[in-house]
Each structure stands twice: as structure tokens, then as C-alpha cells.
Amino acid sequence: MHKLLILFSILFFNEKAYSLNIFELTAIGTAIPLLYDQYFDNSLKEENMYQKSNKIINKHTPKKITPDLNPKIHSTSDLIYYLEMIEEINFYNKNY
């Protein structure tokens, strides 16, 4: 009975009363670092992986594919490139 009275007095006769409970203190303690991280986040100013890969693809693909009726083929690599372009033009014409 003596232990029960001590526990009862500790729980109910405290002079300090806090309006924040343990759940609210935990929520505040968790939210403050997250909000700080989001506010000072500079990752949106940088290029993301999609933009970098899109820039590389646009850099290496021809802007306008037009058939060249009089190609100048000086080497086998020029021939391979010319045949690939013809194949792409035919592919685009069939699919679009």
C-alpha cells in the first residue's frame, strides 16, 4: 500500500504540468530534422539522372533525319552509318 501511495503522489501531485505529451514531443523531434533537410535541400538545383541521360541522348542523335540521295562514302564506317540512317528512316516511316 505504501508503494501505491508513493506512485499515486508522483503521478498526480506533480507541480509541473507539461502540455506536450510524449507522442507530440516525438513528432516534433522527428519533424524538425525532416523540415530542416527539405528547406535546405539543394538537389533540385542540380541535374537529375533523367536530365543528364536525356542531354546525352539528344547530343548523339541527329536532330533531323533527312534522306541524303548523294552520299559521300569514303570508308566502311561511313557506309555503316549511311545504312543505319536508311534503316532508321524506314523504321520511322513504317511506325509513324
Sketch the domain layout of the chain as residue ranges: 16-95
**Which pLDDT band holds residue 9 (cuts at 50, 70, 90)?**
confident
pLDDT, tens digit, 9 for 90 and up, residues 16-58: 666 778 888 888 889 998 888 888 877 767 777 888 888 888 8
pLDDT at 65 (0 to 100): 60
DSSP of 18-78: -SS-HHHHHHHHHHHHHHHHHHT--TTTS--HHHHHHHHHHHHS-SS----SS----SHHH
